[in-house]
Amino acid sequence: MKRLNWGMIGGGEGSQIGPAHRLGAQADGNFVLAAGALDHNADAGRAYAQRLGVAADRAYGDWREMLSGESAREDRVDLVTVATPNSTHFEITKAFLEAGFNVLCEKPMTMTVEEGEEIVKIAAASGKICAVNYCYSAYPMVREMREMVRTGQIGKVRLVVTNFSHGHHGDATDADNPRVRWRYDPAMAGVSGQFADCGIHALHMASFIVGDQVRELSADFASTIPSRELEDDAMVNFRMEGGTVGRLWTSSVAIGRQHGFDIQVFGETGGMRWRSEEPNQVYYTPVGGRTQIMEKGEGGLSHEAGRMSRVAIAHPEGFPLAVANIYVDLAASIRGELRDGLPLAEDGLRSMAAVHQAVVSAADRGAWVDARPPMYR
């Protein structure tokens, strides 16, 4: 099968998420890195792209140069990944979609709900794919949980409890470090700090596994380090359309927690739980029965869990291969077979609406508010 041409914006040398995209996109031979505008520093971006094997004439200094360069080519990139800081996602994603490119945008997709609605509309009008990198949903055992809910193995879901809480911004003496400070500065981060950064992964995961959308929420935000304008800790209660009760805790000051993303789903006839730091196992308990540990790669799992796994039972796969699963489904979608489960612009929009409504709720001492984007009400 012909490899697809892939381009990347952001994710330059030393960036946090860039390597996971390069490993993920190229893991299965679907994509080849053909173009890039990798860095905010044009020369550094050009040089790094060439070290990664990109031809000199496709190692661009910035994304506008890449847009015009690629638009003029017959072998233009089939997919553009946007892995720049949050405030730039909207204009870059919009410009590439409008020019007829498929886009994978990092989360959060936009800074405002209006921008999110615009991206959804532009993607629909262009007929191009706009995916959002909710990559945790592509772990094999997360897919297994989703299939278990779908096939009724825990009955109707009553309750979902999730948290994404780490302690990496818990040191008040490091709060002025520029790499930390911007995340709590509204001018750089927007209306929300920790909830927009990590909480939306957990919220997306809840919807993904339960197979339902968040309808309303009540939020309590705290800036536990007083110099921070935006929250570094949030508790969000929510209700889904079908009545499932949701509880979500997200924090960046939970010292001692490293990655700290986990989810528990409780239904009428069983419960299950999964942790990102132990991603190969799901703990499942049928009502009245014993807890079972289900392992990635064992027999009897769903087709989806098998499809998302490449190496044999007991061998860890982990984060880059979860990202790779997003790229596998993107490649299939670009080739004409839209894959169920690929997180799309609609998901990015729902997250943005939830973020903005959580801010409204938190400012009103946790009042319950409609969490849905206006266009889905």
88 near ligand NAI, judged by CB under 6 A: yes
Cα–Cα distance between 261 and 211 in angstroms, integer? 19
Q: Which stretch binds ligand NAI (CB under 6 A): 6-14, 204-212, 216-224, 260-268?
A: 6-14
Q: In terms of CB distance, is 83 or 157 closer to ligand NAI?
A: 83
Which of 35, 77, 79, 83: binder of ligand NAI (CB under 6 A)? Answer: 83
Cα–Cα distance between 251 and 193 in angstroms, integer? 10
Amino acid at 32: V
Cα–Cα distance between 111 and 84 in angstroms, integer? 13
15 near ligand NAI, judged by CB under 6 A: yes
Phi, psi of 175 (to 5 degrees): -65, -25
165 near ligand NAI, judged by CB under 6 A: no
Residue 53 Ramachandran class (φ > 0 left, ψ -120 to 50 alpha, else beta):
left
Q: In terms of CB distance, is 130 or 135 closer to ligand NAI?
A: 135
Q: In terms of CB distance, is 106 or 118 closer to ligand NAI?
A: 106
Question: At 131, is the secondary structure helix, strand, or coil?
Answer: strand
Cβ count within 10 A of residue 215: 18
Cα–Cα distance between 151 and 277 in angstroms, integer? 26
40 near ligand NAI, judged by CB under 6 A: yes
Q: Which stretch binds ligand NAI (CB under 6 A): 14-22, 113-121, 164-172, 182-190?
A: 14-22
Give Rg (Cα) of the chain: 20
186 near ligand NAI, judged by CB under 6 A: no
Q: Which stretch binds ligand NAI (CB under 6 A): 83-91, 147-155, 288-296, 345-353?
A: 83-91
Q: In terms of CB distance, is 88 or 281 closer to ligand NAI?
A: 88
Pairing of strands 157-165, 245-251: parallel
Which of 31, 63, 195, 266: binder of ligand NAI (CB under 6 A)? Answer: 63
User: Can you give the binding site for ligand NAI, defined by CB under 6 A?
Assistant: 9-12, 15-18, 37-40, 62-63, 83-86, 88, 106-107, 133, 135
